[in-house]
Chain A
Amino acid sequence: GSGGSDGSSAGGSGASGGDIKIGMSVSTLNNPYFVQLRKGAEEEAKKEGVALTVTDAQNDASQQVNQIQNFAGQNMKAIVINPVDSDAAGPAVKAAERSKIPVIAADRGVNGGTVAQTVASDNVEGGRLAAQELAKEMGEKGKVVVLQGVPGTSAARDRGQGFTEGIKAFPNIQVIAQQPADFDRTKGLDVMTNLLQSNPGITGVFAQNDEMALGAVKALGAKAGKEVKVIGFDGTPDGLKAVQDGTLSATVAQQPALLGQQAVQGAVKAAKGEKVEATVAVPVKIVNKDNVAEFAGS
């Protein structure tokens, strides 16, 4: 079992003693990756003794703007934003700026507004790494399909872009189909099943998140990890477990918990008026059979 057992409260507020209030708007909590991010943030808040409020923007940029506005109205001392979309986060950040509240961007950057700090791992870079790893696993030749995330989201865009760039380096690898499965495990399963019908010769799959990758693994059955290599993205607990089992060849781990932790650290510093670095890069790492043990514990 992966969920449920960690015992952390689903509630948003950490230690109530601190007089520092921090607001955090997460792009979505309908995805284990961001649940991890929140978990890291909450643990850090507890450790620092600050009150952290987490809201879920449900992948809706305008809801996120609303939430940031609401934070400003609540006299938060600092705000962490995990943008639904980098461009659309600009006006939200400007609203906070007007209220002189420092903003930390987590996981994705903010365009068109000034943030105190950006804590991010690079999705484009991750896509590139995935391409290299997949090529390596496939012996630098074969046919690949890509399972795309929700069309129009920045994660889908950036990972897709990185992968496309990365895979160009391998002339014997052919991307024969790209289909959306909306970051959803069920859709990953169905779309992969269908693609196998029309493209029986597939030897590699790049899924733009672990959920879809696990769906694809399910569709591939015994072939997963053997004739067909699957690479996911995010490094969720389920994804790491699949890497351990060998059905998933690798995943691009983003260490979301660390990301959340760093973001809150930055926010606390900023709230206290201390100087913070403009960017904190949380490393993106390929997790495969060789190094999965280091990650699985977290």
Chain B
Amino acid sequence: MTNDDSPLGGAAGGEILRVEGLRKEFPGVVALDGVDFDLRAGEVHVLLGENGAGKSTLIKMLSGAYRPDAGRIVVDGAPVEIRGAGDAQRLGIATIYQEFNLVPELSVGENLALGRPPRRFGLVDTKKMHERARELLARVGVDVDPRTPVGRLGIARMQMVEIAKALALNARVLIMDEPTAVLTTSEVERLFAIVRQLRDQGVAIVFITHHLEEIPQVGDRVTVLRDGRSVTQVPASTPENELVRLMVGRPIDQQYPREPAAPGEPLLRVRGLGRRGAFEDVSFEVRAGEVVGLAGLVGAGRTEVARAIFGADPHDTGEVLVNGRPLPRGDVHAAMEAGLGLVPEDRKGQGLVLGADIAENLGLVTLRRASRGGFVDRAGQRRAAADVAGRLGVRMSGLGQEVRTLSGGNQQKIVIGKWLLADASVLILDEPTRGIDVGAKVEIYQLINSLTASGHAVLMISSDLPEILGMSDRVLVMARGRLAGELAAREATQDSVMALAVSEVEDARVH
């Protein structure tokens, strides 16, 4: 279970890695414009910065995914060139990327050993591979069979597999790009326990997060990036609002600016919704002007319920009514016509056309409405896209930039933005602020406020409990595919929500 075969054996404090004046330019964008950064053994070094500040680009140069245009990387006092994943592995650098790098068709075990499977007589030793996988999975506390194809896992479990995969390398530098973005509180705690344990063994850890409250919990030092430059370095104990000021350049007085509106007619009614093996007997309603939060642990079935409501997947029992009219089963188009919208949790797989540009992606949902006699009003669409991109502060070289090349947080803004254009009367948001910086989050919350103020309704799924508590008028909690309870905004606290979320899990869990 422990990492005692780690190659470095606990020498804490010495500098392992340093970068000086790192610069990286992409067509149309200077992503990094002189970054200095150093990393010591046995520390957790947090990288902080707005969406598009250059955090991921920086770590991709440490992992060999990109090559710097200028500047140098020094490891153990000697300048190095990291040309590819192989070089990084030799230097003892392991990376968990912001976007998953798993092979969906292959099993969990195989993914954990990707690129270096155990071999016997020159052949892959599947048995040993799965044994090792089982150990690793136990270490991160994920209960899946190593033979399960990764493609069948939920997004949070995938993240845990990514973490296990990086642990398997026994690296002395571990880079984690927003590992907590899709995790719920309990997984985050488990992850932090692992991180602290590694740190105590002398592993140097680079940690990126947009959850500022995590920084004092796990970090030692913080380097702040702004516009591709490293602006300052502060201890992790720096107060949150000071960090915000350093990062965004201005203070944010209210993190959750929810302005409740008077609830009106129920717009969305879900009655006894169920699908065999996934969820059952889910009933609730969402009224005009309301934000209803949907909380739960990973795998509780929130995403599946949301998709069933929207018609993205069929359901076996129950019905969904929008404005009093029942929706046909499994028909996205009809759901949209009735006024539903869904921001999916998996931006790459379900939210974006990565190869298309920003304008195209933003216009996708409203494409039908912007068409007259089969022809699309592209100029009008472009204007609307420019407007939304401006409101969300998307950092881009222009509306023609390919979405693939946007930073993770900016991609998420596009996914949300296209639904803001759609003017849905009930908007379902599945992990809407995943990977979004504090400044932009407030922007999105304000947009939610203006939606509800104008009589729309929002159903918000989030694994970020403070967000659920801060923005919801009512909180629904799911556990094991059932609605475990409902809390009014006043009575909802971290503890009361968690108590409900684990309620049925406790009963059912035997091991």
A and B touch in the complex (CB under 8 A): no
Residues of B at the A interface (CB closer than 8 Å) are none
